[in-house]
Amino acid sequence: MNGQSAKAILLKTGPGSSIQDMGRMGFAQFGVPSSGAMDQRSFRWVNHLLQNDENDAVLEISQPGFAIRFNSPTQIALAGAIAHMKLKGREIQRTGIISIRSGDILEIGTFHLGARIYLGISRGFQSQSVLGSKSFYKGLTEISQLSTGAELSYIPNPTPVTGHNAAARWSPDWYAKEILTAYPGPDFCLLDLQTREKIVSESFTVSNFGNRMGIQLLELLPNQVPEIATNPIFPGMVQLTSGGKLLVLLRDAQVTGGYPRILLLDEESQWSISQKKPAEQIRFRLSSTSDKAI
């Protein structure tokens, strides 16, 4: 069966399910965002377990109420959010490689911790590549998110993945923490001392306004900083509007903007905030190299 095309059918899915890989780099000059998996740590973990290429495409699932049926044998791995899952109607707790038989149905219910699950499959999902990436993006790929009834191609692999001497264990501790590490952004110097101190001393709450483009924080940060000329922006930047809104840019963010860029999250903090649900709190910690700026 190797080399033949198999199908996985989405029996049920909420909004926000998509195919993602590491993203498409080098096209910002043409207005194309990087896209790619929001939580790159979880994405890399499932491909590592499956001994896939590091850029093989996976499913990013951001809502409970998900079900998928596989029509040929393969192996899958799951990482990211901790959720209630069933395979063939039986609850599963495994965080390592899961063998799939023809007709098996995987169901994902309530998310207990975290906001996104990554479902990797042996040799990756075989979707369309655009500009060197299979990552979905509205206006660039044929679709921007998956819907019920969608068919996903993969290469059957009845041979179990071998070579692991210990059981893999996935821990959510790294994204459960509130502290996010950040560096001063290009426009951090425009903030007065009082505003700088608030940024590092107060907690901020993830609002209901969030998607793959970015997350808005609930608390306002009054300021006198004017809007600036349009400048390059990219994932991980934190912008501050004249009305005091803090906007954390994520993988599908546009490539230019006119709001002051006050912070830049380090990579792990970008992955961590993508796993935060509305009402969860975060705090910013400026890196040691930037302490003198306060």
Q: Is the pLDDT score of 106 beyond 50?
A: yes
Q: What is the dihedral of CA 161, 167, 168, 171, to 10 degrees?
A: 160
- Phi, psi of 173, deg, nearest 5: -55, -35
d(CA 124, CA 14): 22
What does the pLDDT look like over 19-62, one tens digit per residue?
A: 999 999 999 999 999 999 999 999 999 999 999 999 999 999 99
What does the pLDDT look like over 128-140, one tens digit per residue?
A: 999 999 999 999 9
- CB-based burial, 164-199: b 16+ in 10 Å, e otherwise: eeeeeebebeebeeeebbbebbebbebbeeebbebb
Q: Report residue 195 as tokens.
A: 């505003």
d(CA 181, CA 178): 10
For residue 62, how far is the Cα from the chain centroid? 9
CB 24 within 8 A of CB 131: yes
Q: Are strands 179-184 and 281-286 parallel, antiparallel or unpaired?
A: parallel
Q: Does this model's pTM top 0.75? A: yes
State residue 176's pLDDT score: 94
Mean pLDDT, range 85-103, rounded to an integer: 91
Q: Is the pLDDT score of 80 beyond 50?
A: yes
State residue 229's pLDDT score: 87
Domains of the chain with bracketed CATH: 6-171 (no CATH), 177-293 (2.40.100.10)
Q: By mean pLDDT, which of 26-35, 83-92, 224-233 is the weakest? A: 224-233
At residue 2 the predicted structure's pLDDT band, cuts being 50, 70 and 90, is very low
At residue 164 the predicted structure's pLDDT band, cuts being 50, 70 and 90, is low
